[in-house]
Each structure stands twice: as structure tokens, then as C-alpha cells.
Structure 1
Amino acid sequence: MRFLIGLLFILIAAVALSLVAGSNDGYVLIVQPPYRIEISLNLLVVLLATGFFFLHGVLRLVQYTLNLPRNVRNYKREQRRITAHAALLEGLHALAEGRYAKAEKAASNALNLGEDAGLSALVAARAAHKLKMLGKRDYYLAEAERLAPEASLSRRLTQAELQLDERQYASALRTLQQLDKIEPHHLPSLRLQLKAHQRLGNWEQVLSVLSQLEKRDAIEPLHLQQVRYHAHAQLLQRRAGNREELLAYWNKLPEKDQLDTQLARIAAKVFNDAGDGATAAKIIEMSLTRQWDSTLAELYGDNTGGDTVKQLQQAEYWLQNHHGDAGLLLSLGNLCIRQELWGKAQSYLEASLSVKPGSAAHLALARLLERMGNQEEAYRHYRLSLEYALNT
């Protein structure tokens, strides 16, 4: 549409110019003794216009010729940039698709062409790592440091990831500590630190990193609970040989951790193995008051060294609300055995087996029957206990 309008204006201008020129009888006289030149005004206008456009064209041609080397350089530079960018994109796509050889080749080409040296080198390093070309991987990481020192954060983060993948946990941790100086409390770095500390068994540091991630809502609650439980369990087991240290560590734990069912289970076992059945019983009682757990209730009868009568009373109180709980019935049977209440113990153990047969209940009942002189039934329950143990 614009072209048609422009063409229309040109035609109108041409018509108007021809009308003006046709009605113009003027002339121009140029005198330079002994010469005298007389030409029409219309011809002079045409000559001047033609001369102007000719001179303009000559000057533009000269300018283009003078700028030609620079334009060629700019063109080559632009083509190189386009090629390099395409190579980097090709490398990124190949890396995402798992075509690591293609990714390494494309990213290396992009690096040689100067396209985002930091990113190109890291893509090439990741691809080389996947191909187990560790020498090339280290070369690309060194190139990233040399050519893009400003991208230190991404380089160190990548390096730490690759070191963790190679199970070089101590090296990865040192790299992450250097990264921490550049940007403290960087979330991706904290996640990698958590993994490194777990692999190295640095459980105090694991808890510290978990606390930072929890404050920033940067970890799934279920994963947080699992890792925290495992860390506390390991630290409790490390102190199993020293009752005072064990008790001190347990007492400094937050109440929500002490009441956690899984942690209470491992803590009760550790305290009981350390000869502190009273503390083990207290831990179980506190946790079961908050949330009932049949497995934890089963451990209650295994605690030794505490007040058995009080424990028996507590277990019978729980039975009022959990009368069909096999674990609780097994605990009651074991507690009655310790009090030499043979008949009552047999009733509880048989009730436990009727709810949920298991190796532990059969074994407890076999030992009880053996004490009571019923050898035949004792052997039968020993055999059943072994069968359940092998099947599980």
C-alpha cells in the first residue's frame, strides 16, 4: 500500500514538473570572454540534478571502497559469532539429550570460537566427565578459570558436582568451602555440602547444613526428617560407649526430635545396650504418649535395669486403648516373664501371636515354655521362630 502511494506521488510530481518545464521559456547566459554560452533554464536544471546525483554516487563508491576492509572484518566476525552461538546451543541440546560425545565436540568448537567461554567450557567439561575423559574434563575446567575468571561461582559449583560424582568427597568439600567465600549460604552449594558431609560421616555438619536449608525452606520436609533422623542415630551410636556423653547429647536435642518415633526407637536401643534401661523406657513412654507406634511399643518390654513393676503398670494402661496391638502384647509378655508371672506372660504372648505371628513372640514363648517344663511345645515354637526369621 505504501509503495502504491509513493508511486502515485512520484507520478504527480513528474506531471507537475513537466507542466512547469513546458511553460518555462527562460534561458541562462554564461559569458566568459571570448566565449558566450546560452542554454535553456530547463536544461540547466537537468544538468545540475544529474551532476549532483553523479557526484553523490562517486562519493558513496569511494566511501564504500575505503570501508570495505572494515566491513569484511565485521562480516566475518558476525558470521563467527553466529557459528559459535549455534555450536554452543548444539552442545547444550546434545548434553540434555545424553549425546555426550556430540556435546563435547560442539562445546569445544564454541569455546575455540570464543562464544561465552565460561559456559562453553563447563558444558564441555560436563560432557567429558560423562565420557570418563577426566583429562579433558580437567582441561576444560582450567580453561573456564583462565578465560572466564568472573564466572568463578558456576565453575566451582560444577567442579564440586563432578567431584561428588567421582566420589571425591573431601575434594568436593574443599571446593565448596572456597565457593562459600565467594557467595556464603548459596543454596545449590548448601545442598552439595549436605551430600558431601553425609558421605564423609560429618554428622554434626550435616545437622548444621540441614538447619540452614530448613530456615530457607529449601528442603522437602520428608527428606529433612529422614536425614536428620539418620544423623542423630549415627551420633547416638558414636556415644553408645559413654553413658554420660550419650545422655548429654540426648538432652540437648529439641523436644520435637526426641519425640520422633524413628529416633526414639534407635535411642531406646542405644540406651538399653548401654545399660540405661530406665532412660530407654522413659524415651519410649514420651514418644508413645505423642504418637502410638506398635514397633516402639514392642521395644518397651526389652528394656532392662528400670522399674519393671512400673513399666508393667504403664503397659497395662496402654492396653486399655490398644488391646489388639501385637507389639504391646509381646512387651507385656516379656515384662511378666521378668516378674516371673508365668501364666500371665503365656497369655500375653499367645494373644500377641494370635494377632500377628512373628519370630520374636514365638522365641519368647518357646523360652517361657522351656522354663515351665513343656519341652515339646517349646521346641515347636523354637522351630516356628526360626521359620519366621528365615522368611523375613
Structure 2
Amino acid sequence: MMRALLWLIAMFALAAGLAIVARYNDAYALFVWPPWRLHISLNLLAILFVVAFSLAYAATRLVARALALPGAVAAYRAQQRKNHAIQALRDAQRFLVEGRYGRAHAQADAAYRAHESPGLAALIAARASHAMREHARCDEWLRRAAEHDREVRVARLMTEAEFAVADRRFDAAAERLDALREGGHRHIAALRLSVQTAAARGMWGEVLRLARQLASHRAFTAEQAAPLIRRAHLESMREYEGNPEALARYWRQIPRPERSDRGLVRDAALLLNASGQGAVAAEAISEALDAGWDSALAELYGRIEGGELIERIGHAERWLRTQPRDERLLLSLGRLCLQQQLWGKAQSYFEASLSIAQTRAAHLELARLAEQLGRNEAALKHFRSAAELTAG
């Protein structure tokens, strides 16, 4: 506001100044063009000069604008086309996320034809085509995306790897992931795909390495990493089933934190026991139970054969002091006493287990013990009870 006021005052001052100068200016201009003469006031000549200059300037600007109009219209239309292409690309991304794959493909195709981020548009169209199970069209879009590898090479390789995993073409997925690694791209999404690919190809050592790496980078939670690590160890152990010593060595070289996985301990103990490494299996279960109680493992402890039975019975009886009403532990103690041929003690533990919970397993163990001792009526009674529990 103040600035406009100052300009107004300045204009009035200039006008007043010019009026005073013009009042006292008696000069004139003479133009001669024989036989004519023209006398004109110098003030009027100045005014006519200013008016003529203004008209000439305006005419020049008008002609320049008219000549530039086709170019301006072309630039405007080009900008409009670019804006439409950008909007088409954005819509394609939105429709893809929304699951509207047909619309996503149409918008991505429009953006590609308008040369707006053609590599990205081709990848969006490829994802939409793959989601619609149109594999030939998907391959064509991937081929087009490859023509713009300077822009989207990593994105294209990741997309191709994802498609290969989804279609269970794991060798092809491994090729794409290897190409990413060679380029120095080891980001989390690629590592996750590598885990799936390695597991599908039975490369359990690689699965183990990648799962540990992802867990260390916090890309996997402990709950997500544990099943992968467990399966990798178990599948690796199955490769040594014909070599009991190698199987036991493999178990012992597993890091202690990973050996605390109860599921791994259970399945590994069964493998070790089946291979004649019962002592190692019993040691694994003992280690796990000492770290934290698990009734299912306590029951499995009694089914493991081998090792120093007296020492194992003593270990289980120490657990019984802290878990006196665990029917599975009592059942396990009875089975250990049976292996050691402590018939009376075995019977006592089985009956103690039944006093806490009526289980089919305890009745069957008592039935077998009674048969072994020639107590046929007692054996029949327990077999009948086990059958009733099964039917119930």
C-alpha cells in the first residue's frame, strides 16, 4: 500500500514538472517539404513522438506475439500431454495397488506410449499382466522394460525374480538374483527372495546363512527366522542319516542359541535316536529342559533309547522335584525304569501319572508291563481303559 502511494505521488510530481516546463517552452519545430512548410510546437512534437513510439512498440509486440502463437500452442499441448501421461502413470500405480489390474494395465500402456518413464510404465504393465495370468503379454512388457535398463535394471531383475518364484521357476529366479548380487545389490527384498529360492532348490546351507543374515539385519523377527533356521538344520541333518557320527557332529556344531528352539530339539532328537545316537538325543533334550520346562520334551525324553540310564533317571528325578504333578514327566520316568528293568519303580511312576491324568499312553505302558510280568487280568483291564480313552 505504501509503495503504491509513493508511486502515485511521484507520478503527480512528474506531471506537475512537465506542465511547468511546457508552459515556459516557446520553441517550435519547422518541417520543410517544398513547396510546403509545417510549423509545430516542440511540446506537441514531443507528445507525438512519445505516442508514435508507444504505438510502434505495441504493434511490434503484437506481431511478435502473433508469430509466437503457434509455438506457444504447441508447447501448451505438449505440456498437457505430459500432464496426462504423468497422471496416467500415477493412476496405473494406484490401480495396481488397489488390485484393479485391467485398469492398471491400460493406464500404464497409455503412459508408455506417451514416453513418460517408459521403463517404470512397462514394469507396472508387466505386474498387472502377471496378476491376470497373461504370461505372454507379461513377457512382452518385461522385454520392453529391458530396453530401458539404464532407468530400471534393478527393478526389472527384482520383478522377474518375484515372478519366477511365484511361478515356481526357481532356477530362473536364482539367475536374476545372482545378477543382482553381481551388481552389488544385496537389499532386504532380494535376500528374502533368495531364502525362498534356496529353500525350494534344497540349498539348506544357503538358507541357513541367509536366514541368519536377515535376522541380524532385523529384516526377520526371531519368530520369522526360527522356522527357516529349524528346517535348514533338520534338512541338513537328514543328509547325514546314514552316518551317525557325522549326524552327531552336526548337532553339536549348531550354535547354542539355535539349539534352544524346542521344535528343533524335538525333531533332531528323533533323528538322532533313529540313527543310534540316543545318548546325544538325550543330552539335547536335557539341555533344553534345564533351560526351560516343556512337558512334551519331558515325555519324549523317556522314549529315547541309549545313554547311561541310571544317570538319565537321576536327572529326570531332579526335574520331578520342581515338576511333581507333570504326568508326562512321570510317564517318561516309568519308561526309563522299564529300559533299566526296574519293574516296580516303573509301575509306580505309571500309576502316579494316571493319578494326575488318565492318559492312553500310561494305560498302554501298564498293560505291557503287566503282560511282561504275567498279570493278564491287569493287562486286560489297562488295555480296555486305553481303548475307552481312544474311543472317547
The verdict on a shared fold, with TM-score over 0.5 as the criterion, is: yes
Contact 1:125–1:137 (CA<8 Å) still a contact in 2?
Answer: yes
* Aligned-residue offset at 1:41: 3.0
* Aligned-residue offset at 1:384: 4.8
Contact 1:268–1:284 (CA<8 Å) still a contact in 2?
Answer: yes
Matches within 5 A, 1:207-356: 207-356=208-357
Counterpart in the other structure of 1:32: 32
Counterpart in the other structure of 2:50: 49
Return the alpha-carbon distance in structure 1 between the equivalents of residues 164 and 382 of structure 2.
53
Partner SS for 1:297? helix
Structure 1 residues 283 and 13, CA gap change in structure 2 (3 angstroms):
same
Return the alpha-carbon distance in structure 1 between the equivalents of residues 360 and 231 of structure 2.
27
Return the alpha-carbon distance in structure 2 between the equivalents of residues 249 and 230 of structure 1.
14
Letter of the aligned partner of 1:26 in structure 2? Answer: D
Contact 1:229–1:262 (CA<8 Å) still a contact in 2?
Answer: yes
Return the alpha-carbon distance in structure 1 between the equivalents of residues 357 and 4 of structure 2.
94
Structure 1 residues 380 and 146, CA gap change in structure 2 (3 angstroms):
farther
Contact 1:302–1:331 (CA<8 Å) still a contact in 2?
Answer: yes
Return the alpha-carbon distance in structure 2 between the equivalents of residues 288 and 221 of structure 1.
20
Matches within 5 A, 1:41-80: 41-80=42-81
Partner SS for 1:301? helix
Partner SS for 2:325? coil
Superposed CA deviations along residues 94-134 of structure 1, whole A, max 9, x for unmatched, are 11211111111111111111111122111111111111111
Structure 1 residues 118 and 340, CA gap change in structure 2 (3 angstroms):
same
Partner SS for 1:30? strand
Structure 1 residues 389 and 151, CA gap change in structure 2 (3 angstroms):
farther
Counterpart in the other structure of 1:91: 92
* Aligned-residue offset at 1:207: 0.7
Matches within 5 A, 1:140-179: 140-179=141-180
Counterpart in the other structure of 2:181: 180
* Aligned-residue offset at 1:301: 1.2
Superposed CA deviations along residues 321-345 of structure 1, whole A, max 9, x for unmatched, are 1111222111101011122222221
Letter of the aligned partner of 2:23 in structure 1? Answer: S
Counterpart in the other structure of 1:118: 119
Superposed CA deviations along residues 291-322 of structure 1, whole A, max 9, x for unmatched, are 22211111111121222122112211221111
Contact 1:353–1:361 (CA<8 Å) still a contact in 2?
Answer: yes
Structure 1 residues 131 and 365, CA gap change in structure 2 (3 angstroms):
same
Contact 1:294–1:327 (CA<8 Å) still a contact in 2?
Answer: yes
Structure 1 residues 325 and 185, CA gap change in structure 2 (3 angstroms):
same
Structure 1 residues 168 and 388, CA gap change in structure 2 (3 angstroms):
farther
Counterpart in the other structure of 2:374: 373
Partner SS for 2:303? coil
Return the alpha-carbon distance in structure 1 between the equivalents of residues 260 and 62 of structure 2.
88
Contact 2:29–2:42 (CA<8 Å) still a contact in 1?
Answer: no
* Aligned-residue offset at 1:386: 5.3
Identity of counterpart residues, as a percentage? 37
Partner SS for 2:252? helix
Structure 1 residues 115 and 197, CA gap change in structure 2 (3 angstroms):
same
Letter of the aligned partner of 2:180 in structure 1? Answer: L
Structure 1 residues 66 and 195, CA gap change in structure 2 (3 angstroms):
same
Counterpart in the other structure of 2:136: 135
Partner SS for 2:322? coil
The range that moved more, 322-331 or 69-78, is 69-78
Return the alpha-carbon distance in structure 2 between the equivalents of residues 67 and 383 of structure 1.
105
The range that moved more, 13-22 or 42-51, is 13-22
- Structure 1 unaligned regions, length at least 5: none
Return the alpha-carbon distance in structure 1 between the equivalents of residues 3 and 390 of structure 2.
93
Return the alpha-carbon distance in structure 1 between the equivalents of residues 19 and 211 of structure 2.
91
- Structure 2 unaligned regions, length at least 5: none
Contact 2:30–2:38 (CA<8 Å) still a contact in 1?
Answer: yes
Letter of the aligned partner of 1:327 in structure 2? Answer: R
TM-score (norm 1): 0.90
The range that moved more, 58-67 or 42-51, is 58-67
Return the alpha-carbon distance in structure 1 between the equivalents of residues 10 and 142 of structure 2.
64
The range that moved more, 55-64 or 81-90, is 55-64
* Aligned-residue offset at 1:18: 7.8
Contact 2:180–2:186 (CA<8 Å) still a contact in 1?
Answer: no
Aligned length: 391
* Aligned-residue offset at 1:390: 7.4
Return the alpha-carbon distance in structure 2 between the equivalents of residues 159 and 389 of structure 1.
52
Superposed CA deviations along residues 156-212 of structure 1, whole A, max 9, x for unmatched, are 111211222222222112111111112342221001111222223221110111222
Letter of the aligned partner of 1:314 in structure 2? Answer: H
* Aligned-residue offset at 1:357: 3.7
Alpha-carbon RMSD across the aligned residues, in angstroms, is: 2.6
The range that moved more, 95-104 or 178-187, is 178-187
Letter of the aligned partner of 2:293 in structure 1? Answer: W
Return the alpha-carbon distance in structure 1 between the equivalents of residues 26 and 17 of structure 2.
15
Structure 1 residues 244 and 311, CA gap change in structure 2 (3 angstroms):
same
Partner SS for 1:320? helix
Return the alpha-carbon distance in structure 2 between the equivalents of residues 94 and 384 of structure 1.
63
Superposed CA deviations along residues 80-102 of structure 1, whole A, max 9, x for unmatched, are 11010111111111112111111
Return the alpha-carbon distance in structure 2 between the equivalents of residues 155 and 388 of structure 1.
60
